[in-house]
Amino acid sequence: MMNTEFDYKVDLKSKNILIIMPKFYTYQNEIKKDLVARGANPHFYDEEPEKTKFLIMKNIESIFHKPNIFDRFNKKLTNQILAEMPAGGYDYMLVIRGNVLNELTIHELKLHALKANGKSIYYSWDSFENMRHKGELGRLFDWRGTFDSVDAANSDMDYKLLPLFYSDEFDANSMDEVQEYKYDYVSVSAFFPFRYRYFKAFKEANKDKNLCLKLYLNPSVYRGKKLKDPKLVKNLDMDIVSFEPFSPDIIRDMVKHSKAVIDLAHEKQQGLTMRTMETLGIKRKLVTNNIYLRDYEFYNEDNDLVMEDLPGKCDEAEASGDYSAFVLPEDAWLDKPYAENEVVRRKYSIHAWIDNLFEV
């Protein structure tokens, strides 16, 4: 359901908007819902329509140094967009990540698909280090933003810091108040070996608490790991690991009925995850290993706990059998009322995020 109470800053009524981005959970749909509600005409194109094939191509590029491996895809995508564009062209062109796009594609689309007074926008919801173009693609756009505070601070390309968002489904104001919590802590995410280690440590250290720790492991990935690194997936704790994915509705229900959320990002990740923003939106307490959370205006010790150096603590715990470093806060912190700041919280809704993107 669209949040009709939001006071939009940017008028996008009847604007044609070209959007090139990866399909990432349901976030493309959430962006579309907001734009359509504003009266805009968004046209989406997937930057990686065949994910397995594109992953193989990226590996080939890296191993055999073939920098032009995505040129054919770029040409096909450009031709498709130009053939399908609305009469008169686009008012805005938004590229999110653009990991396999080349400069020629951007130049061609700006020249032939974008109106003469149209605006081009680039947004990185990945760290520069994780992208093929290292953020350099952003130079070609009228405005560029990133979710990564360190990239924004260190870049010489005038990147603006724009954290991710929470959708209406994670807006506490649109939910009924929970009468009884099922869990003290919940965490649902994709399987990575580091997360699995930490989840086992949390489970061992917090037997007195109601934990719901779930990792989705794609069966094909599991089979691959079983062949390449059998020790990694031997004797998996199936109370933690699931071969069935969790739908957004199920995840939201888990978070809604939990007092706090555990969000474990890659140790090198600097930007805040979508789960962090959803936790803010739904007004739940947060435990995370992202030290950069402290740099944001909504950080509050009553709501947020940052746990540092989990790799080192995990090494020590596994060697000694002492998991006390993974003990989570007790009721005194969990049951303390959530410290609210509604003005700040609403700044991180999807509606505010889109306002910031298109306020070029």
Q: Let me know how many helices (H) and strands (E) the chain has, helices first.
A: 13, 12
Closest of 114, 106, 66 to residue 89, by C-alpha? 114
Distance of alpha carbon 254 from alpha carbon 131, whole angstroms: 32
**16-162 matches 169-343 in fold:** yes
Distance of alpha carbon 167 from alpha carbon 350, whole angstroms: 5
**Coil vs helix vs strand at 266:** coil
CB 164, CB 191: distance < 8 Å: no
Contacts with 197 (C-beta within 8 Å, 6 or more apart), sequence order: 314, 318
Place of tokens 């974008």: 114
- DSSP letter, residue 86: P
**Coil vs helix vs strand at 143:** strand
**Domain covering 16-162 assigned CATH 3.40.50 in the classification:** yes
Closest of 131, 132, 158 to residue 145, by C-alpha? 158
Distance of alpha carbon 3 from alpha carbon 208, whole angstroms: 39
CB 260, CB 280: distance < 8 Å: no
State if pTM tops 0.95.
Answer: no
CATH architecture of 169-343: 3-Layer(aba) Sandwich (3.40)
User: Pseudo-torsion of CA 262, 268, 270, 275, nearest 10°?
Assistant: -30
Closest of 20, 132, 142 to residue 76, by C-alpha? 20
CB 339, CB 303: distance < 8 Å: yes
- DSSP letter, residue 247: P
**DSSP readout, 252-318?**
HHHHHTEEEEEE---TT--SPPHHHHHHHHHT-EEEES-GGGGGSTT--TTTEEE---HHHHHHHHH
From first to last of its 360 residues, what are the pLDDT tens digits of the chain? 444 467 889 999 999 999 999 987 788 999 999 999 999 999 999 987 776 666 777 777 776 677 777 888 899 999 999 999 999 999 999 999 998 899 999 999 999 999 999 999 999 998 999 888 999 999 999 999 999 999 999 999 999 999 999 999 999 998 888 889 999 999 999 999 999 999 999 999 999 999 999 999 988 888 877 777 777 778 899 999 999 999 989 999 999 999 999 999 887 788 999 999 999 999 999 999 999 999 999 999 999 999 999 999 999 999 999 999 999 999 999 999 999 999 999 999 999 999 999 998
Annotated domain spans of the chain: 16-162, 169-343
